[in-house]
Amino acid sequence: MNNLYNEVVKLKNKIKIAQIILLAVFISLPGTMMLAEESTVDTEFDVLSGELYLEAKIEGSTASFQAEGAYKGEVHYVTNGETLDAKINAQSHSPAQFVAKLQNPFNVDGSKEVYMEMFSGGGSGAAMNASFFQDSDGNVTVQRKDGKILSAQGTADNYSNGWGYLMSMVNEVRSTEDTENKSASVKLQIAGDGEANVDHPDSGYFGNIDQNGDSFVFSIPSFDNPNINVTGYGQFTQEAEAEKNLEMNGISLSGGGSLTISGEFNDGMSQKMEVEAEGNSN
């Protein structure tokens, strides 16, 4: 635990220096932070220009957060010795981008894992506010911490590849040995000129994975209001796949399979994203 404490102190000291000097800096941990059993790490940051990289790891689990630009926020990691939980709250001062990744074992024998990845970047600004929890039974919940889960904005001449902003989410259960072998997955990507928000309107969860014997169900529930709100123009893609049963936005594949919805929008878009994907737990 002393090693963990020393690593956190070093990181906080570096961030304090960055805030005082107000110069472009690169902030990183000196190697991977190995968390001890029942460890907690809280990191606050406020950077006017620079990069930040945080990585926490226990056996079988890895969590990371990367930021670039001008931004502030906090990252919270906690472990019970078996899995990692993460809370991320980051907002930009001006152009910025954020990437969060989390990989945890899904079943007892470790043959499958849960993987989450979120990206938000924009020429005018971006934000990420997500919480990821996994209980002792393997059930997983993704919900917002504060504000929108993801948001980004910008115009086509001030970000990347001709877009004003880019945003994506990946949630999947996959083979530990072969990460391309997925039992179920949902992917969302939006690129545009204007503003985009991904959220759930009420205080419940955005996504959930429930284990039930040899099967699990990965669901994004239906809400009265759209989960996705976008202005301006751009491109949208949503993908889902499942081994046993898949339902997405009113389309049902009773024997499993994959679905892709994509298109271009000229004057904004909104969507009530709803997914239920069933796969094999073992």
Strand 112-122 with 84-105, pairing: antiparallel
Q: For residues 222 and 247, give the distance between their C-alpha atoms in angstroms, rounded to a whole number.
A: 12
Q: Is the dihedral of CA 217, 244, 227, 164 positive or negative?
A: positive
User: Strand 269-271 and strand 33-34: pairing?
Assistant: unpaired
Could you tell me the sign of the dihedral formed by the alpha carbons of 133, 29, 12, 97, in that order?
Answer: negative
- Angstrom distance (rounded) from CA 101 to CA 169: 10
Decide if 65 contacts 75 (C-beta within 8 A).
yes
Residue ranges of alpha helices (H) inside the chain are 2-21
Highest mean pLDDT among 17-31, 180-194, 211-225: 180-194
Q: Please report the sign of the dihedral spanned by the C-alpha atoms of residue 186, residue 63, residue 175, residue 215.
A: negative
pLDDT at position 16 over 60 = no
Residue 32, pLDDT score: 58
pTM, rounded to two decimals: 0.86
CA distances from 147 to 48, 113, 203 (A): 22, 28, 11
Rg value, the chain, Cα: 19
Q: Using 50, 70 and 90 to split pLDDT, how confident is the model at 169?
A: very high
What's the CA gap between 7 and 25, in Å, rounded? Answer: 18
Torsion of CA 226, 233, 97, 129, to 10 degrees: -10
Q: How far apart are CA 221 and CA 200, in angstroms?
A: 9
Q: Where is pLDDT greater, at 109 or 25?
A: 109
Q: Could you tell me which residue, 37 or 151, shows the higher pLDDT?
A: 151
Average pLDDT of the residues of the chain:
85
The helix/strand/coil state of 20 is helix
Cα distances (Å, whole numbers) of residue 240 to 1, 53, 85, 248, 251: 41, 30, 24, 7, 11
Instruction: Judge whether residue 230 has pLDDT over 50.
Output: yes
Query: Exposed (0-12), middle (13-18) or buried (19+): which is 214, by Cβ within 10 Å?
Result: exposed
